Chain A
């Protein structure tokens, strides 16, 4: 009503007759109607929610796990496939993050050799608590197809404590997703322990 009339008024300087498109402008450029409303949750939920602190902390930790990009070998390619658009991991809140200082979980994807083992240990120690380790693939679990070579560490759990093992050579991105969801379940289930 009042709004439409404002826009329907032409500036007084225009003295030529209006073209058809200008005549339709009032209709075309009608602004959006903003209706005052109330969010649904206010009607349904109370204004304050009481929840145990560890529940909230565990919920927030599991929903935004940032893995340190630690792709060593072939499993890294499947891990990258899992981050990319086909099997998106970002919808779980999981973004690859290169720096260990801001990462939550270390996905050890690939064979750990004895030459690389001190570096793995150092990176694990650089991660701040709380941290988790997911051993992806057969090589990180127990050495995989290379287990009988004497320069290969038979499993990364010889140097760091592992929370979830994902078998496969390489595990499909869906298998990695299942491993990460199992890790999320574990974080929720272990919330009293982490504290």
Chain B
């Protein structure tokens, strides 16, 4: 006869430091997990290891020079960040943007959304443990789009192509051809990756019901972007407060149901397809014409005032709060970065899950440390 006796085990909670150098933290992010056994009881994120003072340095630069910090802040969705900044300056200074420049901006911004989501899928799959496969596919697709960006702006990553008033030079004659090819190739690339992940039993088992956050909490924490849409709130700034020419395009907004990691992944994959739709429509509608207004002042001096310009970046709502006191340099340039606000909800999402899930939840927030720390 076997007698089972119960004994109380003495346990202590240990602190696990997922330190600044870690293959799964997407950069220099540190979180200290307090675990009891394998379940996470508390998480304290520490940021600031990439705080480089973009805001302070922008105050000492021209309006055109301060553009470079936007690229380097959001270094995976550069065109979207540049677009927000140049639109903020245009709203303050009252500059009209020619039509062709608007279309070029939208096409490049949407293609950059696609590359950013490819990077998300690659890094997310690596967090799950798929060492290398999806990452390699994603980077292969990104390289195709990056070649186009290089031919348009001259640089593979830090473009600096947008200017207050338009874009700095016109695109080449084969731009439309290449973008059409890219649209076709992107559809193939998305299908390649989705075939491997979306219905994969292990993927679903690891991602379903992990890190869920309810809609009211999401709004309270200030979440935005795919994280908010995955929780069931059908908000996209391109529809809510349309900026640029987004009201001319017909696209859907993917909305999730439960707000868990799997929904966020699905929302982002579907957003890539909608971006391709937008690009195709923009290609058809794009007119000829100049890309900068004729009467652009040599020294840009917006009048007194302030503006908070917000755009829908791949990660959420990216905002630029620009205060101008009439000089050549911005008086205060505050960057409201999407990942900074999305990370505040980390504790709410992670507590109660296992350590391996904490890594996946962090991956699903899709952080870019340049943006979090600026």
Does B135 touch A at the CB level, under 8 Å? yes
Asked if B136 lies at the interface with its beta carbon under 8 angstroms from chain A, I say yes
**B interface footprint on A100-130 (CB within 8 Å = 1, 0 otherwise):** 1000000000110101100100010000000
Is A111 within 8 A of B157, CB to CB? no
Contact present for B28 and A72 (CB under 8 Å) = yes
Are A84 and B140 within 8 A (Cβ)?
A: yes
Q: Is the CB of B51 within 8 A of A98?
A: no
A119–B72 CA distance with the chains assembled, in angstroms? 22
A115–B51 CB distance below 8 A:
yes
Docked pose: A165 CA to B142 CA in angstroms: 27
Contact with B along A122-155 (1 / 0, CB 8 A): 0100000000000000000000011011111000
Q: Which residues of B contact A84 (CB under 8 A)?
A: 135-136, 139-140, 143
Contact A76 B57, beta carbon cutoff 8 Å? no
A48-90, CB < 8 A from B: 69-74, 76-78, 80-81, 84-86
Task: Check: A179 CB closer than 8 A to any chain B CB.
Answer: no
| Residues in B128-187 with C-beta less than 8 Å from chain A | 135-136, 139-140, 142-143, 146, 156-158
Q: Which of B19, B27, B72 has most A Cβ within 10 Å?
A: B72
Tell me the dominant secondary structure on chain A's binding face: loop
Chain A residue nearest to B140 (CB atoms) is A85
Chain B contacts with A in 28-52, Cβ cutoff 8 A:
28, 48-52
Roughly how many angstroms separate A111 CA and B69 CA in the complex, as a whole number?
13
With A and B bound together, what is the CA distance between A85 and B142 in angstroms?
Answer: 11
Given the complex of chains A and B, what is the CA–CA distance between A110 and B369 in angstroms? 11
When distances are taken between beta carbons in the complex, the residues of chain B under 8 Å from A123 are 21
Among B52, B57, B119, chain A packs the most CB atoms within 10 A around the CB of B52
A86 near B50: Cβ-Cβ < 8 Å? no
Interface size on A, residues (CB 8 A): 33
Task: Point out the residues of chain B lying under 8 angstroms from A116, CB to CB.
Answer: 20, 28, 49-50
Q: Of A71, A80, A86, A152, which is within 8 A of B53 by CB?
A: A152
Question: Which of A69, A98, A119 touches B20 (beta carbons < 8 Å)?
Answer: A119
Q: Is A191 an interface residue (CB 8 A)?
A: no
**Of B28, B69, B369, which one neighbours A145 at CB under 8 angstroms?**
B69
Interface hub of B50, B56, B75 (most chain A Cβ within 10 A): B50
Evaluate contact between A170 and B157: CB separation under 8 angstroms.
yes
- Give bound CA distance, A97 to B60, whole Å: 40
Contact (Cβ within 8 A) B136 A78: no
| Most chain A CB within a 10 A radius of its CB, from B22, B76, B135, B369 | B369
Partner of A169, one of B76, B142, B158: B158
- CB of B363 within 8 A of chain A? no
Chain B contacts for A100, CB-based, 8 A: 21
B76 A77 Cβ-Cβ under 8 A:
yes
B21 near A73: Cβ-Cβ < 8 Å: no
Q: Is the CB of A146 within 8 A of B27?
A: no
Contacts known (A81-B139, A84-B139, A145-B57); A113 close to B72, Cβ less than 8 A: no
Write out the residue numbers on chain A whose beta carbons fall within 8 Å of the beta carbon of B22.
98
Complex Cα spacing A123 to B23, Å = 14
A71-B27, A84-B140 given as contacts; is B21 within 8 A of A111 (CB)? no
> Do B27 and A76 touch (CB < 8 A)?
yes
Q: Are B20 and A149 in contact (CB under 8 A)?
A: no
Q: How far is the CB of A18 from chain B (nearest CB, A)?
A: 43
Within the complex, which residue of A86, A152, A170 is in contact with B139, where a contact is CB–CB below 8 Å?
A: A86
Q: Which of A72, A74, A150 has the most CB of B within 10 A?
A: A74
Residue contact B139 to A73, C-beta cutoff 8 Å:
no
What B residues does A85 contact at CB under 8 A? 136, 139-140
Residues B143 and A146 in contact, CB atoms below 8 Å apart: no
Confirm or deny: B256 has a beta carbon within 8 angstroms of a beta carbon on chain A: no
- Give the residues in chain B near A70, CB-CB below 8 Å: 21
The 8 Å CB contact of B50, one of A77, A98, A111, is A111
Q: Determine if A72 and B27 form an interchain contact, defined as CB atoms under 8 angstroms apart.
A: yes
Instruction: Evaluate whether A172 and B48 lie within 8 angstroms (CB atoms) in the complex, with A84-B135, A149-B56 already known.
Output: no
Q: Please state if A111 and B52 are interface contacts (CB–CB under 8 Å).
A: yes
Knowing A73-B370, A98-B23, A145-B69, say if A80 contacts B49 (CB, 8 Å): no
Known contacts A116-B49, A151-B51, A152-B52; 10 further A-B pairs (Cβ under 8 A): A70-B21, A73-B52, A73-B370, A74-B158, A77-B75, A78-B157, A81-B143, A84-B135, A116-B20, A149-B53
Complex A-B, nearest 7 residue pairs according to Cβ-Cβ distance, in ascending order:
A149-B53, A74-B75, A84-B139, A146-B52, A98-B23, A116-B49, A86-B143
